Homo-oligomer: A and B are copies of this chain.
Amino acid sequence: MTNIKHVATLAGVSASTVSRVLNGKSYVNETTRQKVMEAVQKTNYRPNVLAKSLKMGRSNTICLMVPSIQNLIFPEIARGVEDVARRNGFTVVLCNTDEDAAVEKAYIDKMKTRWIDGFVVCSNIGEADHIRALRVEGFPLVLVNRFEERDINVLDTVAVDSFQAAYDAVQYLVRTGHRRIALAYGREELYFYRERYRGYCQALSDAGLPYEEALVMRESSGVDSFYRLTQEVMRLPQPPDAIFTTSDPKAFVVMHALHDMGVRIPEDVSVLGFDNVSLSSMVEPPLSTVAQPLYDMGAVAAKNLIHQIRYKEKNGELPPPVRNVLGVDLIVRRSTR
């Protein structure tokens, strides 16, 4: 690898001059600038980012922490993050945590020693104060999707309005004639699932429909538990005429169970999902769902993070936190009537 000194001697100048022309921070005589550029070309010189980072205390690298990239929604988010990172000269390090606090902590620790510039995290942050601590320590941080109510406007967040989205979704179901709407609830420790639940309740109530505990399916052991829960709810004396699921993967399981029971979708019961994961259009029937702009969420998160990084560089402190709320789209396909 050719270094700045080679270039300098080749151009007949000092290393500092080369640095100056490359970083354009200071004025340099046009003719020497030319000479330097020539030498750079000739040697195909690339500055050593490590050395630069060491010197500058900045690595142009950000860390993306997700529970698991195997979970359908995170590849989309990750792609959004990576695209804007790349366009801004940043590199992204991928960390799968499996929602294990120990792994998370170990990763954070490791990232700090690399002088990572900031963190985009989609973690289960309920108890995760080691994540919140990041901002206190001065690290740019943005939370995507997973955070608590108390984090809003305290930390930077990006998400959809889960309450409103669920409310609108259920209202749609009511408007299209459904009267007994079941809910496939997600893990209750996650704020956004609680919000979707609230939206469901509120929409029911505003429509004058009763809330029935028997109609809310509560996940016990992973998404697969909805297979059994679907069977149970459909065997009720008065089974539901629609099932609103708080995520697409749950909808897939529900549809599967329904199919195995010989229940027709949407003739006997409508199924409405949440997320619009890439495969939701491929199942049979194609799933109606509330589309979260996953890619955009990643992109917005990265933009916000990079803004924080630059702001901090300039002002020595983090900008005030901002809450990014993105809109959803109701995609009507063929699983609802």
Q: Which residues of A contact B (CB under 8 A)?
A: 1, 46-51, 53-54, 59, 61, 64, 68-70, 72, 74-76, 78-79, 82-83, 91-96, 109-110, 112-115, 249, 252-253, 255-256, 259, 278-279, 282-284
Known: A91-B114, A115-B50. A82 touches B109 (CB 8 A): no
CA distance A47 to B94 in the complex (A): 21
- List 6 extra interface pairs beyond A79-B96, A91-B110, CB under 8 A: A72-B279, A74-B75, A82-B95, A83-B96, A92-B94, A282-B283
Contact A282 B252 (CB under 8 A): yes
A326: min CB distance to chain B, Å:
18
CA distance A279 to B59 in the complex (A): 38
Q: How many copies does the complex hold?
A: 2
CB-defined contacts of A109 to chain B, threshold 8 Å: 46
CA distance A259 to B265 in the complex (A): 14
CA distance A56 to B93 in the complex (A): 21
* Nearest B-chain residue to A110, judged by Cβ: B91
Contact A79 B75 (CB under 8 A): no
CA distance A209 to B91 in the complex (A): 52
Please tell me which one of the listed residues B47, B78, B282 contacts residue A253 in the complex, with CB atoms under 8 A apart.
B282
Known: A282-B253, A282-B256, A284-B284. A78 touches B94 (CB 8 A): yes
CB-defined contacts of A110 to chain B, threshold 8 Å: 49, 91
A258: min CB distance to chain B, Å:
10
CB-defined contacts of A75 to chain B, threshold 8 Å: 69-70, 74-75
CB-defined contacts of A79 to chain B, threshold 8 Å: 68-70, 96
